[in-house]
Amino acid sequence: MMSVTFTLATLASANVRGRNEVWTEEQEIQAGWVPRGNASSHDLNSHDLLSIPKEGLPEEFSWCNKDGENYCTMSRNQHIPQYCGSCWAHGAVSALADRVKIARGAQSGTDINPSVQHVLNCANAGSCHGGSAGSVYQWLYSSAISLETSNPYLACSSESSEGFCRSVDTSCSALNVARTCGGFSSEGGPCTGLNHYPNITISDYGSISGSAAIQKEIYNRGPIACGIDAGPLLNYESGIVDNREGDVDHIISVVGWGNDASKGSYWIVRNSWGEFWGEFGYVRVTFGSLGLDSCNWATVADYTAPEKHNQFPCHEGGDNCKGGPSPSPSPSPSPSGQCHAISAVVTDDWCTANCAMGYCPSDLCTCDGESA
């Protein structure tokens, strides 16, 4: 294979990044999450049970070209319609979307893309000023994520003052989980928060470190979200990055690996800076470079899809999807009594209001009449 050199723009100092978009362990704990958390038992971690072929892992492997099929979903841009440091949500959501595509099979048709904005509104895993990919999966373990078509990306969170964010309501309400608008406001057409909407759930999550574990997880189950040092990538154009800097401040998704005759093994990395950046939104990074060593994964439990015949059809204006039980495919009855916060990150009022709308995470709330 021909060796490709790492190319930078001439004015390397023109793009300066002075922020860290990855939470510290202290920030994760403060938000109620477990740093490097795993859902399955440490004695029986599902990742540890994965195997590799007797002949070893292949020298090159990518879910974007596996047996001639592309299981990679779209490349996203976290920085439009205004700047937002939500890489942590994009990396986690993109890896999950790929795993849904893998679960559906190569001939599944249109991709199912989870909503990053739902994560920003409801997960309590970060904001436009940074967050945690592992915390996204911990939140999703007891919840469900809506799709992009019912909650498009706004690049806003509650504290952001960028662009039009001051005028945007990002509270975690039914309207900000999944919505539709039945007409112009001048026509009296309301926007409706949906309690039935296509969604995705997960069955397990975990954290790994080291190239061997990363390769094993990707090979067996699909792309993963990983930390990386973004500084050397700001003005990247093409080629293989071989840079031992490792001040991790950014989250990306890794879809596979390759091998170069001169630079050796490298990761195939999907960024969230748009397809105009890098190699159509991707970058290749040698093993051991840019601090890419610690990652998070999640396994798909269920999802709404045409071939599963599990969609609840809502009217154009959403009038038949206002209220009722939680969304399929993982329904649970809405509580009828008072709900109480069991975590310091929410209040009793928050639990009562959101549980009544079908969003009732068991790690945050408990309700009267529920079994302990």
The three-state secondary structure class of 83 is coil
| Catalytic residue (choose from 38, 113, 271, 296) | 271
- Residue 187 makes CB contacts below 8 A (sequence gap 6+) with none
Q: What is the pLDDT of residues 296-335, one digit of tens each?
A: 999 999 999 999 999 999 999 898 998 433 444 333 334 4
| Catalytic residue (choose from 47, 250, 321, 339) | 250
Q: Which helix (H) or strand (E) holds 366?
A: strand 365-367
Candidates 307, 346, 302, 352; CA nearest to 327 is 302
- The angle that helices 133-140 and 87-104 make with each other, rounded to 10 degrees, is 50
Q: CA 248, 253, 255 angle in degrees (round to 5)?
A: 130
- Residues 222 and 133: their CA atoms lie apart, in Å, by 16
Instruction: Yes or no: say if 270 and 94 are a contact pair by the CB < 8 Å rule.
Output: yes
The three-state secondary structure class of 109 is coil
Q: What residue ranges in 165-279 does DSSP mark as E strands?
A: 179-181, 191-193, 199-209, 224-228, 236-238, 240-241, 250-260, 264-270
> What token pair was written down for 106?
């190569």
DSSP secondary structure letters along 282-329: EEEEETT-TTTTEEEEEEEEEE--GGGT---PPPTT-GGGSSSSPPTT
> Hey, how many other C-beta atoms are within 10 angstroms of the C-beta on 207?
21
Looking only at the bridges linking them, the beta strands covering 130-131 and 282-286 are unpaired
The three-state secondary structure class of 52 is coil
Q: How far is CA 161 from the centre of its chain?
A: 23
> What token pair was written down for 17?
């990044």
The three-state secondary structure class of 365 is strand
Instruction: Yes or no: say if 242 and 263 are a contact pair by the CB < 8 Å rule.
Output: yes
What does the mean pLDDT of the chain come to? Answer: 87
Of 31-40, 113-122, 240-249, the range with the highest mean pLDDT is: 113-122
Instruction: Yes or no: say if 63 and 57 are a contact pair by the CB < 8 Å rule.
Output: no
Instruction: Give the predicted TM-score (pTM) of the model.
Output: 0.83
Question: Does 226 participate in catalysis according to the annotation?
Answer: no
The residue length of the chain stands at 372
- What is the pLDDT at residue 184? 83
Percentage of the chain surpassing pLDDT 70? 83
Looking only at the bridges linking them, the beta strands covering 294-303 and 224-228 are antiparallel
167 CB burial (10 A radius; 0-12, 13-18, 19+):
exposed
Q: With cut-offs at 50, 70 and 90, classify the pLDDT of residue 10.
A: very low
Looking only at the bridges linking them, the beta strands covering 240-241 and 282-286 are parallel
> What token pair was written down for 119?
């994560």
Q: What is the pLDDT of residues 338-367, one digit of tens each?
A: 788 775 545 676 666 556 545 566 656 787
Question: In Å, what is the CA distance from 11 to each residue of 7, 15, 235?
Answer: 12, 8, 8
- What is the pLDDT at residue 189? 72
> What token pair was written down for 27?
């920030």
Q: What is the pLDDT of residues 241-262, one digit of tens each?
A: 999 988 999 999 999 999 999 9
Residue ranges of domains in the chain, CATH in brackets: 7-331 (3.90.70.10), 335-372 (no CATH)
Question: Does 250 participate in catalysis according to the annotation?
Answer: yes
Q: Which helix (H) or strand (E) holds 2?
A: none
| Catalytic residue (choose from 72, 87, 172, 355) | 87
Question: Does 87 participate in catalysis according to the annotation?
Answer: yes
- For the cut 80, the answer to whether the pLDDT of residue 121 exceeds it is yes
- Residues 134 and 298: their CA atoms lie apart, in Å, by 9
